[in-house]
Amino acid sequence: MMIKSIILGLVYVTTAYGAVLEKRAPAPFSNFTRNEFFKPAADAQLWGTLYARSLQLPDESLLMTWENYPAESKAYPVNHPIYKSVDGGATWSNFSAVKDTQNGWGMRFQPFLYTLPTDFGGYARGAILAAGVSTPESLEGGVYIEVYASKDGAKTWEFVSHIAYGDGPNTIKNGDKALWEPFFLMYKDQLVCYYSDQRDPKHAQKLVHTTTTDLKTWSDIVEDEAESNYDARPGMTTVAHIESTNKWIMTWERCGVDACRVYYKVSDSPLTFGPIPRTRLKATDGSLFSSGPYVTWVRNPYTSDGSGIIIVSTTSSENILIQGDNPAEGKWKKVDINHWSAYSRSVREITVKGTRRLLIGNGGNFGDKKYNGVADAVVPIPTL
């Protein structure tokens, strides 16, 4: 049964899965911040929502997905919902879901959406890939990083392949054979999947990548960050192409030994991060940042020389950090975008009626699930 309730002057439509904002949304195709459009159901488990990820389709419509925790059963395990906006992110509606069709466990952690830029692996250019972590509600009995695909703009999904497997339990306890946080990009006719890996007994956790040329078989892993200190837990890889210099930047959090401080490294290839020394993400005022980084690169809209802007979001700050194409420690500029922080907030360049802007995607934070809704912001690209 659908129930309408008034909450702080906002009207929500409440379902078993959560609540969708029905009124008082921002103006369509406008700039805005703090636009909460989904609230967890009253009986939501764990943290309600976490880890929002977005995608833009060729018609400028937007997709958003996240970790979602309604009450579940073996018959109805968790999935990664797909919501869609056709008005520049102002309003969103339930569109589809990426469901576990292989394991009976559900799609539980860290979804990621990616559009194929070329025909690949039997799928046409424009097909959408969805990665995520499938593991039982108990977190015991195994874990897969999976990839599903959609040929029809995210309306329907089909299983493609298992990317990686761990024996579990899928917890952050050192020694558990867990897998986390897949991230995709295409490079030289291969799809790269970065992820966090706890299976190596020499490391509490390390960052690795694997590649495929057919979406069916995946290569042996390559280390991107693996420390000699066992207790170090580097995690949450994101990567961006600095097109103006043809280099690649990787960001991650360094947990276990360093208060989850955010670091980055720059490489000539997205396949050779391993030997590159790490650099702290440090602002011009000396600030350091922790947890959940997300990096993207955009061409600078205020110049005509082809240069760009590197943009990093972190869990520990509402600000985003920006720098030019050759990043250096202590040179990151803080930019207040008036949008609250979240656990692994995502940042994507989009176009709104042809105008380039940034889309910020928020799931919740670890804490009181009453405040752990899904929100977005659309803001201008900042100036250096």
Report pLDDT digits (tens) over 256-310: 999 999 999 999 999 999 999 999 999 999 999 999 999 999 999 999 999 999 9
Quick: pLDDT tens for 99-125.
999 999 999 999 999 999 999 999 999
Whole-number pLDDT of residue 23: 54
Residue 47, pLDDT > 90, answer: no
Residue 328 near residue 310 (C-beta atoms within 8 A): no
In angstroms, what is the C-alpha Rg of the chain?
Answer: 20
User: How many beta carbons lie within 10 A of that of residue 3, not counting itself?
Assistant: 9
Residue 371: helix, strand or coil by DSSP? Answer: helix
User: How many beta carbons lie within 10 A of that of residue 77, not counting itself?
Assistant: 18
Q: Return the half-sphere exposure (C-beta side, CA atoms, 13 A cut-off) of residue 83.
A: 30
Across the chain, mean pLDDT equals 93
Delineate the domains of the chain, giving CATH numbers in brackets. 26-380 (2.120.10.10)
Amino acid at 344: S
Residue 159, pLDDT > 80, answer: yes
Residue 199, pLDDT > 70, answer: yes
Whole-number pLDDT of residue 268: 99
Angle at the Cα of 293 (from 290 to 295), degrees rounded to 5? Answer: 145
When pLDDT is averaged across residues 215-232 and rounded to a whole number, the result is 98
Angle at the Cα of 185 (from 180 to 187), degrees rounded to 5? Answer: 135
Whole-number pLDDT of residue 8: 31
pTM value? 0.93
Q: Return the half-sphere exposure (C-beta side, CA atoms, 13 A cut-off) of residue 49.
A: 29
Whole-number pLDDT of residue 185: 98
Whole-number pLDDT of residue 18: 56
Residue 300: helix, strand or coil by DSSP? Answer: coil
Percent of the chain topping pLDDT 70: 93
Residue 74, pLDDT > 90, answer: no
Quick: pLDDT tens for 173-186.
999 999 999 999 99
Quick: pLDDT tens for 347-384.
999 999 999 999 999 999 887 666 689 999 999 999 99
Residue 314 near residue 291 (C-beta atoms within 8 A): yes
Amino acid at 378: V
Whole-number pLDDT of residue 10: 42
CA distance 309 to 307: 7
CA distance 77 to 68: 11
* Sign of the CA dihedral with 47 first, then 238, 321, and 354 last: negative
Residue 211 near residue 191 (C-beta atoms within 8 A): yes
Whole-number pLDDT of residue 72: 82
Q: Torsion over CA of 91, 96, 100 and 101, rounded to 10 degrees?
A: 180
> Strand order in 346-352's β-sheet?
3-7, 10-14, 18-21, 32-40, 374-380, 355-362, 346-352
- With 0-12 / 13-18 / 19 or more C-beta atoms within 10 angstroms meaning exposed / middle / buried, residue 322 is buried
Amino acid at 27: A
Quick: pLDDT tens for 320-331.
999 999 999 999
Whole-number pLDDT of residue 368: 65
